[in-house]
Structure 1
Amino acid sequence: MSQTSPDQVTAGAKPSMSHRQVLEALSGLLLGMFVSMLASTVVSTSLPVIVHDLSGDQAAFTWVITATLLTTAISTPIWGKLADLFNRKLLIQIALTLFVVATAAAGFSQDPGMLIAFRAAQGLGAGGLAALSQVIMADIISPRERGRYMGLFGAVMAVATVGGPLVGGLITDAWGWRWNFFVAIPFAVAALIILQKTLHISPRPKRKVSIDYFGIVLLSVATSLLLIWVTGAGTDYDWWSATTLLMVGGAIVAAVLFVIVELRSKEPLVPLSLFRDATFTLSVVASIATGIAMFGASVFLSQYMQLARGATPTEAGVMTIPMIAGLLLASVGVGALVTKFGRWKPYLIVGAISLTAGSYLLSTIEYDTNFALVSLYMFLLGAGVGMTMQNLVLVVQNTAKPTEIGVASSGVTFFRSLGGTIGVSIMGAALAATVTNLVAGAKDDIAAAIMALGDKAQYWSEQLQSGALPKVSAMPEPLRTLFEDIYAQGISHSFLIAVPFAVVSLLAIVFLPNKPLTRMTTTERLRASEADLATVSVSEGMDAITATAETVKTDAAASATRSAKREDESR
């Protein structure tokens, strides 16, 4: 008996959502993403000021960033697994609430440690928003049609990414940096209300579930040890030391135990069977490099503008617009082309090339590099991220089982966040080491510049000896030029680290299987698979009935033959 085709299933089931219904369902999701991005970007340009005011050093600056990225990376697969088990609408509301409460609490920080702790809590909510938004999109929009809606997400991303640093810079210059952490609260309240009213998702079938608690703990331990080691190596302790041995050894042991637990778990946090799919494995490799470029650029370009070019927070926000323009144009344009032609691989390859070129060119910048060239380099990097980031998730969702969309989507997002966290940690450690060496090498020039300041010499000497991140824009001209050159060299050296990862990403994308995009949403694919299973079950049942009937018929014939034979013998 022939199986039911997907088209027949979807035709006989609940019809697909109309364009208007999709827009209504996306409205709360878009606002939630806007809140997440705004709360993150609004403090990006003011972080050098924040860390300076809290008497933090370069290591503290790096940890303010990596604490959020670390908890985002750890929590993303957890949220993704929960999305396959529980109500996705409720989960994204919980994630949004957690994110905004932690963000607001960060505004009351009194020292770098307190700020880092609240930023870590913020990352727990951010992981949920990152994972669940992708899963819910797959529920209501097919991979082939998703490109037409990527313009909306690109617009939200652009407004938040461009507007956030600008607003953050203005708030910092006008009222102080603490208000940056409160600006997202009214948007969050609106997002929760709209999500409740407009987002309608088919309920998950009720079944007994088990949560992989050991997997969660082991993943957290392995990731945390690795990132803490990368952040402190070379500054707090040597790369080759007992501390390194303990941390790296502990991370390896935890990772091995995690794999063993996942192989035996009924509901694994990250099903290792996903890695049998070449599309998933290669997308993970490519996502790591994308994460390094994306997070590294957002962190260190802001530092470059303020510490190497002497810009204020507001000016730094304006100066990073070329990168956001590249990201927006590439994301929207490629999304429309994917929907129109159904082809995705050429755009991913071009994006990976652009990512590699942008990373390399940014490794050549100096404090006095023509800003038109810096803008071009930023545009190339942004365009590369825009072409690769969302489309890597898209191709994974296109081939993943409908019952594993949550873990598959969050798996790619997890490795992107993990790559970004490791990248920022390594780049931050390299920056701190380079700056320390350059300052030591320019000790005589710095001393001469300070002595030339007259009555202000003691003040600036104390400022530099405090170890806090300097406010370069406020320095006198001779001293300012020296430190702009030092930080420019350190930051450009950091960008060089991203280049080999970008090359690996390009190679992974080249070998991605070029599978066509389906026009079915996750919900429709799930119904189709259930219908196929039911059809097979009915077919098997009919075959069993037919076989039973044939057996009965055969047995009856045999019985009649035996009876006739006995009658003949009796005569």
Structure 2
Amino acid sequence: MTDTREAAPVATGSRLHLVFGALMLAMLMAALDQTIVATALPRIVGDLGGLSYLSWVVTAYLLAATASTPLWGKLGDIYGRKGIFLGLIVIFLVGSAFSGIAGNIGELIAARAVQGLGGGGLIVVTQAIIADLVSPERRGRYQGVLGGVFGVASVAGPLLGGYFTDNLSWRWVFYINLPIGLVALVLAGVFLNLPRGRQDRPRVDYLGMALLAAGVVCLVLITSLGGTTFPWVSPEIIGLGVASIVLLTAFVMVERRAVDPVLPPALARMPVFALASGIGFLIGFAQFAVLSFLPLFLQVVNGASATASGLLLLPMIIGMIITSVASGQVISRTGRYAVFPIVGTAMVAAGAFLLSTMNSGTSTGLASAYQFLFGLGLGLVSQVLVIAVQNNVRRDDLGAATSGATFFRSIGGSFGVAVFGSLLTSLLATNLTDLATAGRLSTADVATAAAAKNSPTALQALAAPVRDLVTGAYAQSLDTLFLIAAPVAFAGFLLACFLRDGSSS
């Protein structure tokens, strides 16, 4: 295998710092917009209408970002990452601007899809550019900081969204990207110097790209619509499942014959890539179960406001920052990375298990400790997997390898949210029905309790004894989700035990 140590141009000094600043800003924008819109949705519907299409404001972004992730990585390999990176910033800013000025829900959904095209690419290309700029020995230091930025932005998004919505306008959720993106665009345009791409005029695998994108769209639609818009066992969801299998099977067949495949089959045969992808999928699955539903626990069971629940997530953010940055520093000094995913997945599993023991009487300090442990584990896994893959591929495949590893984590997160969301609905319905059957809740109380999933303040309409019963049902249901996330993360731990230190040689 070609040694990436010699192929990567090494950047140093103030130019590197300015370019890295641009990369951090790009990562900040893309990560924020995965979650920042959530707390603004009720106000958006109040202004634009279209309640029945509300979920598509989130789904459109997720769909475009996930489907395009592998494509941007490959295009960067072919044409050079500077032009692709600058183009992605422009696409993202155009989507942000049109999201901000949207006059109806349809315009907003379309603009969010444009945002997703840019955002999904920015996360991948930003990580690949680091591998272009610095040698393998130094990548950990910078990838660790990027991981910290991603973690902070992902968790802080709802908090910032609520602040903008309450104090300015929901439109500022999108407008805030414009100054950030323009600074990143100028810094990268002036100071980022990268190779222009491959000189052998490769044939772009358009058929493979189309099949992969279509197959991923079907998968994301299954996770977004299954159990909500349509039952899991319905003609629509089954049809999407069959379509995804057919399209992705066709993609694999095309890739085997393609001159320059989107995801080179040789990558899948590399143990480190296969392991990193599997671990990423499982940790993404477990991670988003906690990130998506822990705020609901804090608001419904503990009675925290939306803003307070965001602040209560700070221990998790701090944990992610500490280990993401620290692990990167250690990898840069020692060249060893295999131990971090092993320890990290174990900590994620332990953290999820401890979170499953919480109830309304759990102290804030204890809950914070559980979150901190969970965050420490996440920080040891996500960026380290990217480093492991990058250090074991040829420079010509850096983008494809980076996007592949990121893609599987995104798909895992999508499935995690969908599966755990449906499971929560089922568990909650069972627990509330049991209380109603026992004569402890009225039919009206059950309806109010079910509505609290989308509006926790609805519980304030219930009498105190009834509210205690309902919060208990929520705690029991959510604890089950966290408990299930623990063995999922433990499966990631078992895979991580097979990772071995090493770099391309």
- TM beyond 0.5: yes
Deviation at 1:439, TM superposition (A): 4.2
Query: Is 1:320 matched with 2:313?
Result: yes
Unaligned 5+ runs, structure 2: none
Whether the 8 Å CA contact 2:359–2:475 is kept in 1: the answer is yes
Q: How does 1:125-274 map to 2 (within 5 A)?
A: 125-150=118-143, 152-153=145-146, 156-157=149-150, 160-161=153-154, 164-274=157-267
Query: Is 1:42 matched with 2:36?
Result: yes
Equivalents in 2 of 1:5, 1:197: separation in Å? Answer: 29
Equivalents in 1 of 2:90, 2:278: separation in Å? Answer: 32
* Alignment correspondent of 1:426: 419
Aligned pair partner of 1:303 in 285, 296, 301: 296
Task: Name the aligned partner's letter for residue 32 of structure 1.
Answer: A
SS in 2 for 1:201: coil
* Alignment correspondent of 1:556: none
SS in 2 for 1:211: coil
Deviation at 1:279, TM superposition (A): 0.9
Equivalents in 2 of 1:395, 1:94: separation in Å? Answer: 28
Equivalents in 2 of 1:359, 1:17: separation in Å? Answer: 40
SS in 2 for 1:144: helix
More deviation in 14-23 or 408-417?
A: 14-23
The alignment's TM-score, normalised by the length of structure 2, stands at 0.87
More deviation in 16-25 or 423-432?
A: 16-25
Deviation at 1:416, TM superposition (A): 1.0
Larger radius of gyration: 1
* Alignment correspondent of 2:460: 475
Unaligned 5+ runs, structure 1: 451-459, 519-524, 526-571
Query: Is 1:31 matched with 2:18?
Result: no
Equivalents in 1 of 2:382, 2:235: separation in Å? Answer: 38
SS in 2 for 1:366: coil
* Alignment correspondent of 2:363: 370
**How has the CA–CA distance of structure 1 residues 470 and 481 changed in structure 2, closer, same or farther, with 3 Å as cutoff?**
farther
Aligned pair partner of 1:489 in 476, 481, 484: 476
Whether the 8 Å CA contact 1:278–1:513 is kept in 2: the answer is no
Equivalents in 2 of 1:465, 1:401: separation in Å? Answer: 52
**How has the CA–CA distance of structure 1 residues 5 and 166 changed in structure 2, closer, same or farther, with 3 Å as cutoff?**
closer
More deviation in 408-417 or 332-341?
A: 332-341
Task: Name the aligned partner's letter for residue 315 of structure 1.
Answer: A
Task: Name the aligned partner's letter for residue 303 of structure 1.
Answer: L
Cα deviations by residue, 1:287-333 (Å, 9 ceiling, x for unpaired): 11222233333322233333443322321221110110110011111
Cα deviations by residue, 1:488-511 (Å, 9 ceiling, x for unpaired): 333333334433331221122111
Equivalents in 2 of 1:6, 1:90: separation in Å? Answer: 22
Deviation at 1:44, TM superposition (A): 4.6
Q: How does 1:85-100 map to 2 (within 5 A)?
A: 85-100=78-93
Cα deviations by residue, 1:526-550 (Å, 9 ceiling, x for unpaired): xxxxxxxxxxxxxxxxxxxxxxxxx
More deviation in 209-218 or 323-332?
A: 209-218
Cα deviations by residue, 1:43-74 (Å, 9 ceiling, x for unpaired): 355557767986858x965x654543332221
Cα deviations by residue, 1:428-486 (Å, 9 ceiling, x for unpaired): 22223333444444456554886xxxxxxxxx98x889899224267235265455444
Equivalents in 1 of 2:208, 2:118: separation in Å? Answer: 19
Whether the 8 Å CA contact 1:360–1:496 is kept in 2: the answer is yes
**How has the CA–CA distance of structure 1 residues 422 and 113 changed in structure 2, closer, same or farther, with 3 Å as cutoff?**
farther
Give the percent of matched residue pairs that are identical in Structure 1 and Structure 2.
Answer: 35
Equivalents in 2 of 1:100, 1:367: separation in Å? Answer: 43
Equivalents in 2 of 1:110, 1:363: separation in Å? Answer: 43
**How has the CA–CA distance of structure 1 residues 371 and 271 changed in structure 2, closer, same or farther, with 3 Å as cutoff?**
same
Query: Is 1:506 matched with 2:499?
Result: no
Task: Name the aligned partner's letter for residue 355 of structure 2.
Answer: L
Task: Name the aligned partner's letter for residue 404 of structure 2.
Answer: G
**How has the CA–CA distance of structure 1 residues 448 and 6 changed in structure 2, closer, same or farther, with 3 Å as cutoff?**
closer
**How has the CA–CA distance of structure 1 residues 182 and 471 changed in structure 2, closer, same or farther, with 3 Å as cutoff?**
farther
**How has the CA–CA distance of structure 1 residues 300 and 121 changed in structure 2, closer, same or farther, with 3 Å as cutoff?**
farther
Deviation at 1:178, TM superposition (A): 3.6
Task: Name the aligned partner's letter for residue 434 of structure 1.
Answer: L
Task: Name the aligned partner's letter for residue 313 of structure 1.
Answer: A
**How has the CA–CA distance of structure 1 residues 398 and 425 changed in structure 2, closer, same or farther, with 3 Å as cutoff?**
same
**How has the CA–CA distance of structure 1 residues 245 and 292 changed in structure 2, closer, same or farther, with 3 Å as cutoff?**
closer
Alignment root-mean-square deviation, CA: 3.4
Aligned pair partner of 1:389 in 352, 362, 382: 382
Equivalents in 1 of 2:453, 2:283: separation in Å? Answer: 31
Deviation at 1:41, TM superposition (A): 4.3
Deviation at 1:190, TM superposition (A): 1.2
SS in 2 for 1:200: coil
Equivalents in 1 of 2:60, 2:297: separation in Å? Answer: 21
**How has the CA–CA distance of structure 1 residues 239 and 466 changed in structure 2, closer, same or farther, with 3 Å as cutoff?**
closer
Task: Name the aligned partner's letter for residue 373 of structure 1.
Answer: L
Deviation at 1:113, TM superposition (A): 6.7
Equivalents in 1 of 2:112, 2:468: separation in Å? Answer: 33
Whether the 8 Å CA contact 1:472–1:484 is kept in 2: the answer is no
The alignment's TM-score, normalised by the length of structure 1, stands at 0.78
More deviation in 149-158 or 75-84?
A: 149-158
Deviation at 1:219, TM superposition (A): 1.8
Whether the 8 Å CA contact 1:52–1:471 is kept in 2: the answer is no
